[in-house]
Amino acid sequence: NRADTTHLTMNKGRIVTRAAFDIGSGKTKMLVADVDTTLGTLAHLHLSVDASVPFKSDVLASGDARELSDGVIRRGLGVLRDLADCATRCGAVPPHAGIATDVFRGARNGEDFVSRVRREAGIDARIVSQEEEAAVGFLTAVALGGAGSGADGRRMLAWDSGGGSYQLSSLVGDDGAADAPPVVRASVGPWGSSGAWCALIERVRGLRFERQTANPVRRAEAERLVALIRDDLARTPVEPWVGELGAAPSAQIVGFGGESCIFRVVEQLSGKTVQTRDDVQVALEKMLDKSDEEIVALGIHDEYQLAVPKLCLMAAVMDHLHLGTLRYQPANGSCAGLLIYDTTMGVTKYWPEVPPPPVIDP
Protein backbone atom coordinates (compact mmCIF):
# COMPACT_ATOMS: atom_id res chain seq x y z
CA ASN A 1 0.00 0.00 0.00
CA ARG A 2 1.25 3.45 -0.86
CA ALA A 3 0.38 7.03 -0.04
CA ASP A 4 1.62 9.93 -2.14
CA THR A 5 0.96 13.61 -1.50
CA THR A 6 3.04 14.98 -4.36
CA HIS A 7 1.88 18.18 -6.06
CA LEU A 8 1.74 17.53 -9.81
CA THR A 9 0.84 20.91 -11.27
CA MET A 10 0.93 24.52 -10.18
CA ASN A 11 -1.66 25.81 -12.68
CA LYS A 12 -5.12 25.36 -11.23
CA GLY A 13 -8.59 25.62 -12.69
CA ARG A 14 -11.66 23.96 -11.22
CA ILE A 15 -10.44 21.40 -8.67
CA VAL A 16 -12.49 18.34 -7.64
CA THR A 17 -11.31 15.55 -5.33
CA ARG A 18 -12.07 12.20 -6.95
CA ALA A 19 -11.47 8.51 -6.26
CA ALA A 20 -10.89 6.15 -9.19
CA PHE A 21 -10.87 2.35 -8.99
CA ASP A 22 -9.27 -0.11 -11.37
CA ILE A 23 -10.67 -3.55 -10.54
CA GLY A 24 -8.22 -5.78 -12.33
CA SER A 25 -7.64 -9.48 -12.79
CA GLY A 26 -5.08 -9.74 -9.98
CA LYS A 27 -4.96 -6.35 -8.28
CA THR A 28 -7.63 -3.94 -7.12
CA LYS A 29 -6.35 -0.36 -7.26
CA MET A 30 -7.56 3.01 -5.98
CA LEU A 31 -6.22 6.51 -6.52
CA VAL A 32 -7.59 9.57 -4.71
CA ALA A 33 -6.50 12.88 -6.20
CA ASP A 34 -7.45 16.49 -6.78
CA VAL A 35 -8.32 16.78 -10.46
CA ASP A 36 -8.19 20.01 -12.43
CA THR A 37 -11.31 19.60 -14.55
CA THR A 38 -10.41 22.65 -16.65
CA LEU A 39 -6.98 21.44 -17.72
CA GLY A 40 -7.59 17.70 -17.41
CA THR A 41 -4.61 17.19 -15.10
CA LEU A 42 -3.89 15.77 -11.66
CA ALA A 43 -3.26 18.63 -9.25
CA HIS A 44 -2.51 16.71 -6.04
CA LEU A 45 -2.33 13.03 -5.07
CA HIS A 46 -3.87 12.13 -1.72
CA LEU A 47 -3.76 8.33 -1.61
CA SER A 48 -2.61 5.48 -3.86
CA VAL A 49 -3.47 1.97 -2.70
CA ASP A 50 -3.61 -1.49 -4.21
CA ALA A 51 -4.68 -4.86 -2.84
CA SER A 52 -4.18 -8.39 -4.17
CA VAL A 53 -7.47 -10.05 -5.11
CA PRO A 54 -6.78 -12.99 -7.46
CA PHE A 55 -9.95 -12.82 -9.57
CA LYS A 56 -8.39 -14.20 -12.77
CA SER A 57 -6.53 -17.13 -11.28
CA ASP A 58 -9.68 -17.96 -9.29
CA VAL A 59 -11.71 -18.18 -12.51
CA LEU A 60 -8.99 -20.17 -14.28
CA ALA A 61 -8.93 -22.64 -11.39
CA SER A 62 -12.70 -23.14 -11.80
CA GLY A 63 -12.13 -24.83 -15.17
CA ASP A 64 -15.11 -25.02 -17.49
CA ALA A 65 -17.34 -23.29 -14.92
CA ARG A 66 -15.59 -19.95 -15.66
CA GLU A 67 -16.98 -18.44 -12.45
CA LEU A 68 -15.79 -16.30 -9.60
CA SER A 69 -15.92 -18.33 -6.40
CA ASP A 70 -17.89 -17.21 -3.36
CA GLY A 71 -14.60 -16.76 -1.52
CA VAL A 72 -13.03 -14.35 -4.01
CA ILE A 73 -16.33 -12.45 -4.30
CA ARG A 74 -16.42 -11.91 -0.53
CA ARG A 75 -12.78 -10.88 -0.50
CA GLY A 76 -13.20 -8.51 -3.43
CA LEU A 77 -16.29 -6.83 -2.02
CA GLY A 78 -14.64 -6.42 1.36
CA VAL A 79 -11.56 -4.79 -0.17
CA LEU A 80 -13.67 -2.42 -2.27
CA ARG A 81 -15.89 -1.40 0.65
CA ASP A 82 -12.80 -0.64 2.74
CA LEU A 83 -11.18 1.35 -0.07
CA ALA A 84 -14.38 3.32 -0.70
CA ASP A 85 -14.46 4.24 3.00
CA CYS A 86 -10.84 5.43 2.74
CA ALA A 87 -11.73 7.54 -0.28
CA THR A 88 -14.55 9.24 1.59
CA ARG A 89 -12.26 10.00 4.53
CA CYS A 90 -9.79 11.56 2.07
CA GLY A 91 -12.51 13.94 0.90
CA ALA A 92 -13.31 12.30 -2.44
CA VAL A 93 -16.64 13.49 -3.83
CA PRO A 94 -19.01 10.59 -4.58
CA PRO A 95 -19.97 8.82 -6.69
CA HIS A 96 -16.57 7.23 -7.16
CA ALA A 97 -15.84 5.74 -10.59
CA GLY A 98 -14.42 2.33 -11.39
CA ILE A 99 -13.57 0.12 -14.33
CA ALA A 100 -13.67 -3.67 -14.22
CA THR A 101 -11.49 -5.38 -16.82
CA ASP A 102 -10.63 -8.71 -18.45
CA VAL A 103 -11.72 -11.27 -15.89
CA PHE A 104 -15.17 -9.72 -15.50
CA ARG A 105 -15.69 -9.70 -19.26
CA GLY A 106 -15.21 -13.47 -19.33
CA ALA A 107 -16.56 -14.78 -16.03
CA ARG A 108 -20.14 -16.04 -16.11
CA ASN A 109 -20.94 -14.09 -12.96
CA GLY A 110 -18.73 -11.09 -13.71
CA GLU A 111 -21.62 -8.69 -14.28
CA ASP A 112 -23.35 -9.90 -11.11
CA PHE A 113 -20.21 -9.11 -9.11
CA VAL A 114 -19.87 -5.62 -10.58
CA SER A 115 -23.55 -4.94 -9.84
CA ARG A 116 -22.88 -5.84 -6.20
CA VAL A 117 -19.90 -3.46 -6.19
CA ARG A 118 -22.25 -0.64 -7.21
CA ARG A 119 -24.83 -1.55 -4.57
CA GLU A 120 -22.63 -2.54 -1.65
CA ALA A 121 -19.49 -0.41 -2.06
CA GLY A 122 -21.05 2.71 -3.57
CA ILE A 123 -18.63 2.68 -6.51
CA ASP A 124 -20.02 3.44 -9.96
CA ALA A 125 -18.14 0.51 -11.50
CA ARG A 126 -18.69 -0.82 -14.98
CA ILE A 127 -17.20 -3.54 -17.16
CA VAL A 128 -15.29 -1.93 -20.03
CA SER A 129 -14.22 -3.30 -23.38
CA GLN A 130 -10.55 -3.98 -24.02
CA GLU A 131 -10.44 -1.00 -26.39
CA GLU A 132 -11.85 1.29 -23.70
CA GLU A 133 -9.37 -0.17 -21.23
CA ALA A 134 -6.59 0.73 -23.68
CA ALA A 135 -7.85 4.33 -23.98
CA VAL A 136 -7.93 4.77 -20.20
CA GLY A 137 -4.45 3.24 -20.08
CA PHE A 138 -3.10 5.68 -22.63
CA LEU A 139 -4.44 8.62 -20.62
CA THR A 140 -2.75 7.13 -17.55
CA ALA A 141 0.62 7.24 -19.30
CA VAL A 142 -0.10 10.86 -20.30
CA ALA A 143 -1.25 11.89 -16.82
CA LEU A 144 1.83 10.47 -15.11
CA GLY A 145 4.44 12.08 -17.28
CA GLY A 146 4.04 10.51 -20.70
CA ALA A 147 4.39 12.30 -24.00
CA GLY A 148 1.17 14.30 -23.94
CA SER A 149 -1.91 14.50 -26.15
CA GLY A 150 -0.55 16.39 -29.15
CA ALA A 151 2.14 15.40 -31.64
CA ASP A 152 4.16 13.78 -28.84
CA GLY A 153 1.17 11.58 -28.02
CA ARG A 154 1.18 10.22 -31.55
CA ARG A 155 4.79 9.13 -31.02
CA MET A 156 4.01 7.37 -27.76
CA LEU A 157 3.00 3.72 -27.49
CA ALA A 158 1.53 2.94 -24.06
CA TRP A 159 1.76 -0.70 -22.97
CA ASP A 160 -0.51 -2.00 -20.20
CA SER A 161 0.06 -5.65 -19.29
CA GLY A 162 -2.24 -6.99 -16.59
CA GLY A 163 -3.35 -10.25 -15.08
CA GLY A 164 -5.79 -11.14 -17.85
CA SER A 165 -4.80 -9.28 -21.01
CA TYR A 166 -2.55 -6.64 -22.51
CA GLN A 167 -3.23 -3.42 -24.41
CA LEU A 168 -1.04 -1.11 -26.48
CA SER A 169 -2.40 2.30 -27.38
CA SER A 170 -1.49 5.54 -29.12
CA LEU A 171 -3.14 8.60 -30.61
CA VAL A 172 -4.46 8.44 -34.15
CA GLY A 173 -2.03 10.25 -36.44
CA ASP A 174 -4.50 12.62 -38.13
CA ASP A 175 -4.44 16.06 -36.51
CA GLY A 176 -8.16 16.61 -37.15
CA ALA A 177 -10.02 19.72 -36.04
CA ALA A 178 -8.23 21.96 -33.58
CA ASP A 179 -10.94 21.59 -30.94
CA ALA A 180 -11.58 17.87 -31.46
CA PRO A 181 -11.00 15.45 -28.57
CA PRO A 182 -8.15 12.97 -28.98
CA VAL A 183 -8.83 9.62 -30.63
CA VAL A 184 -6.98 6.67 -29.13
CA ARG A 185 -6.28 3.56 -31.20
CA ALA A 186 -5.59 0.21 -29.58
CA SER A 187 -3.90 -3.10 -30.24
CA VAL A 188 -5.10 -5.70 -27.76
CA GLY A 189 -4.13 -9.24 -26.85
CA PRO A 190 -5.74 -12.02 -24.79
CA TRP A 191 -2.65 -12.88 -22.74
CA GLY A 192 -2.00 -11.69 -19.19
CA SER A 193 0.18 -12.81 -16.30
CA SER A 194 -2.39 -15.20 -14.86
CA GLY A 195 -3.01 -16.75 -18.28
CA ALA A 196 0.73 -17.30 -18.76
CA TRP A 197 0.93 -18.88 -15.29
CA CYS A 198 -1.97 -21.22 -16.09
CA ALA A 199 -0.48 -22.11 -19.50
CA LEU A 200 2.81 -23.11 -17.90
CA ILE A 201 1.05 -25.43 -15.46
CA GLU A 202 -1.50 -26.93 -17.85
CA ARG A 203 -0.07 -26.72 -21.37
CA VAL A 204 3.64 -27.04 -20.67
CA ARG A 205 3.56 -29.40 -17.67
CA GLY A 206 0.24 -31.13 -18.34
CA LEU A 207 -1.07 -30.59 -14.81
CA ARG A 208 -4.35 -29.19 -13.51
CA PHE A 209 -4.08 -25.52 -12.62
CA GLU A 210 -4.85 -25.06 -8.94
CA ARG A 211 -2.95 -21.79 -8.40
CA GLN A 212 0.14 -23.73 -7.36
CA THR A 213 3.50 -22.04 -7.64
CA ALA A 214 5.24 -22.21 -11.00
CA ASN A 215 8.64 -22.44 -9.33
CA PRO A 216 11.13 -23.79 -10.01
CA VAL A 217 10.89 -23.23 -13.76
CA ARG A 218 13.42 -25.02 -15.96
CA ARG A 219 14.97 -23.38 -19.01
CA ALA A 220 13.22 -25.75 -21.41
CA GLU A 221 9.86 -24.97 -19.78
CA ALA A 222 10.40 -21.21 -20.06
CA GLU A 223 11.46 -21.51 -23.70
CA ARG A 224 8.40 -23.62 -24.47
CA LEU A 225 6.09 -21.13 -22.77
CA VAL A 226 7.57 -18.18 -24.70
CA ALA A 227 7.16 -20.10 -27.96
CA LEU A 228 3.60 -21.13 -27.07
CA ILE A 229 2.50 -17.55 -26.35
CA ARG A 230 4.34 -16.20 -29.40
CA ASP A 231 2.72 -18.81 -31.67
CA ASP A 232 -0.71 -18.02 -30.28
CA LEU A 233 -0.21 -14.28 -30.81
CA ALA A 234 1.00 -14.90 -34.37
CA ARG A 235 -2.52 -15.95 -35.34
CA THR A 236 -3.41 -12.25 -35.37
CA PRO A 237 -1.36 -10.03 -37.69
CA VAL A 238 0.43 -7.06 -36.14
CA GLU A 239 -1.32 -3.79 -36.97
CA PRO A 240 0.92 -1.69 -39.22
CA TRP A 241 0.83 1.33 -36.92
CA VAL A 242 2.14 -0.77 -34.01
CA GLY A 243 5.00 -2.05 -36.11
CA GLU A 244 5.86 1.44 -37.30
CA LEU A 245 5.82 2.94 -33.82
CA GLY A 246 7.62 0.00 -32.28
CA ALA A 247 10.52 0.37 -34.69
CA ALA A 248 10.63 4.18 -34.98
CA PRO A 249 13.72 5.72 -33.30
CA SER A 250 11.67 8.78 -32.28
CA ALA A 251 8.88 6.74 -30.69
CA GLN A 252 8.45 6.42 -26.95
CA ILE A 253 7.28 3.04 -25.68
CA VAL A 254 5.96 3.44 -22.14
CA GLY A 255 5.21 0.33 -20.10
CA PHE A 256 3.20 1.29 -17.04
CA GLY A 257 2.01 -0.56 -13.98
CA GLY A 258 2.39 -1.12 -10.28
CA GLU A 259 4.71 -2.98 -7.93
CA SER A 260 3.90 -6.41 -9.37
CA CYS A 261 3.71 -5.58 -13.09
CA ILE A 262 6.02 -7.25 -15.62
CA PHE A 263 8.05 -4.07 -16.16
CA ARG A 264 8.64 -3.69 -12.43
CA VAL A 265 9.96 -7.27 -12.23
CA VAL A 266 12.58 -6.45 -14.88
CA GLU A 267 13.48 -3.26 -13.01
CA GLN A 268 13.88 -5.14 -9.73
CA LEU A 269 16.24 -7.68 -11.30
CA SER A 270 18.20 -5.33 -13.57
CA GLY A 271 17.97 -1.93 -11.88
CA LYS A 272 16.82 -0.48 -15.23
CA THR A 273 13.73 1.58 -15.97
CA VAL A 274 14.74 1.72 -19.64
CA GLN A 275 14.41 -1.88 -20.80
CA THR A 276 15.20 -3.94 -23.90
CA ARG A 277 14.37 -7.48 -24.95
CA ASP A 278 17.88 -8.49 -23.84
CA ASP A 279 17.20 -7.05 -20.37
CA VAL A 280 14.05 -9.18 -20.15
CA GLN A 281 16.05 -12.28 -21.08
CA VAL A 282 18.75 -11.57 -18.50
CA ALA A 283 16.11 -11.02 -15.79
CA LEU A 284 14.31 -14.20 -16.81
CA GLU A 285 17.46 -16.29 -16.62
CA LYS A 286 18.17 -15.04 -13.11
CA MET A 287 14.96 -16.73 -11.93
CA LEU A 288 15.29 -20.06 -13.72
CA ASP A 289 15.65 -23.15 -11.50
CA LYS A 290 14.86 -21.04 -8.42
CA SER A 291 12.50 -21.97 -5.60
CA ASP A 292 9.94 -19.55 -4.18
CA GLU A 293 12.32 -18.69 -1.37
CA GLU A 294 15.20 -18.03 -3.76
CA ILE A 295 13.08 -15.76 -5.95
CA VAL A 296 11.93 -13.81 -2.89
CA ALA A 297 15.60 -13.45 -1.95
CA LEU A 298 16.14 -11.78 -5.33
CA GLY A 299 13.70 -9.05 -4.24
CA ILE A 300 10.50 -10.33 -5.88
CA HIS A 301 8.14 -10.33 -2.90
CA ASP A 302 4.81 -9.83 -4.69
CA GLU A 303 3.42 -12.61 -6.91
CA TYR A 304 6.74 -14.44 -6.81
CA GLN A 305 4.97 -17.70 -7.68
CA LEU A 306 4.28 -16.44 -11.22
CA ALA A 307 7.26 -14.16 -11.75
CA VAL A 308 8.82 -16.39 -14.41
CA PRO A 309 5.61 -16.70 -16.50
CA LYS A 310 5.32 -12.89 -16.37
CA LEU A 311 8.68 -12.43 -18.03
CA CYS A 312 7.96 -15.22 -20.53
CA LEU A 313 4.87 -13.23 -21.51
CA MET A 314 6.82 -9.97 -21.79
CA ALA A 315 9.44 -11.65 -23.97
CA ALA A 316 6.81 -13.20 -26.26
CA VAL A 317 4.90 -9.92 -26.74
CA MET A 318 8.10 -8.00 -27.51
CA ASP A 319 9.07 -10.66 -30.04
CA HIS A 320 5.62 -10.72 -31.65
CA LEU A 321 5.31 -6.95 -31.96
CA HIS A 322 9.02 -6.32 -32.67
CA LEU A 323 9.15 -3.78 -29.86
CA GLY A 324 12.38 -1.96 -29.14
CA THR A 325 13.41 -0.10 -26.01
CA LEU A 326 10.71 0.82 -23.50
CA ARG A 327 10.59 3.01 -20.42
CA TYR A 328 8.89 1.78 -17.26
CA GLN A 329 6.45 4.30 -15.74
CA PRO A 330 5.20 3.39 -12.24
CA ALA A 331 1.41 3.67 -12.07
CA ASN A 332 -1.39 2.39 -9.90
CA GLY A 333 -3.20 0.57 -12.67
CA SER A 334 -5.18 2.89 -14.95
CA CYS A 335 -6.63 4.99 -12.13
CA ALA A 336 -4.87 8.20 -13.20
CA GLY A 337 -6.30 8.00 -16.71
CA LEU A 338 -9.77 7.35 -15.37
CA LEU A 339 -9.56 10.48 -13.21
CA ILE A 340 -8.95 12.75 -16.23
CA TYR A 341 -10.92 10.78 -18.83
CA ASP A 342 -14.02 12.95 -19.17
CA THR A 343 -12.20 16.27 -19.47
CA THR A 344 -9.56 14.96 -21.85
CA MET A 345 -12.01 13.09 -24.07
CA GLY A 346 -14.66 15.84 -23.97
CA VAL A 347 -17.44 13.59 -22.63
CA THR A 348 -19.55 13.04 -19.54
CA LYS A 349 -19.09 9.32 -18.93
CA TYR A 350 -17.42 8.44 -15.65
CA TRP A 351 -17.91 11.65 -13.68
CA PRO A 352 -21.16 13.57 -13.10
CA GLU A 353 -19.71 17.03 -13.67
CA VAL A 354 -20.21 18.44 -17.15
CA PRO A 355 -16.67 18.77 -18.59
CA PRO A 356 -15.40 21.95 -20.26
CA PRO A 357 -14.24 21.72 -23.88
CA PRO A 358 -11.22 19.40 -24.21
CA VAL A 359 -7.77 20.94 -24.04
CA ILE A 360 -5.70 19.80 -27.01
CA ASP A 361 -2.02 20.49 -27.48
CA PRO A 362 -1.26 22.49 -30.62
Q: Cis (ω within 30 of 0) for the bond into 95? A: yes
% the chain with pLDDT above 70:
90
Residue 48 neighbours by CB distance under 10 Å: 23
Residue 355 neighbours by CB distance under 10 Å: 21
Question: Which candidate, 331, 330, 290, places its Cα nearest to that of 307?
Answer: 290
Amino acid identity for residue 341 in this structure: Y
**331 and 4 in contact (C-beta within 8 Å)?**
no
Average pLDDT of the chain is: 91
Q: What is the pTM of this model?
A: 0.90
Give 296-328 pLDDT, tens digit per residue: 999 999 999 999 999 999 999 999 999 989 999
Quote the pLDDT of residue 13: 62
Question: Which candidate, 264, 277, 273, 270, places its Cα nearest to that of 317?
Answer: 277
Distance of CA 149 to the CA centre of its chain: 19
Distance of CA 219 to the CA centre of its chain: 28
**What is the pLDDT confidence band of residue 247, given thresholds at 50, 70 and 90?**
confident
Quote the pLDDT of residue 354: 46
Give 88-104 pLDDT, tens digit per residue: 999 998 889 999 999 99
Helix H or strand E encompassing 189: strand 184-189
Which stretches of 188-334 are DSSP H helices? 193-199, 219-233, 240-247, 262-270, 277-287, 292-297, 307-321
**What is the pLDDT confidence band of residue 173, given thresholds at 50, 70 and 90?**
low
Question: Does 195 score more than 60 pLDDT?
Answer: yes
How would you list the strands of the sheet with 96-100, edge to edge? Answer: 41-52, 27-36, 15-23, 96-100, 123-127
Give 344-361 pLDDT, tens digit per residue: 999 999 998 644 445 445
Cα 337 from Cα 137, distance rounded (Å)? 6
- CA within 13 Å, CB half, 239: 14
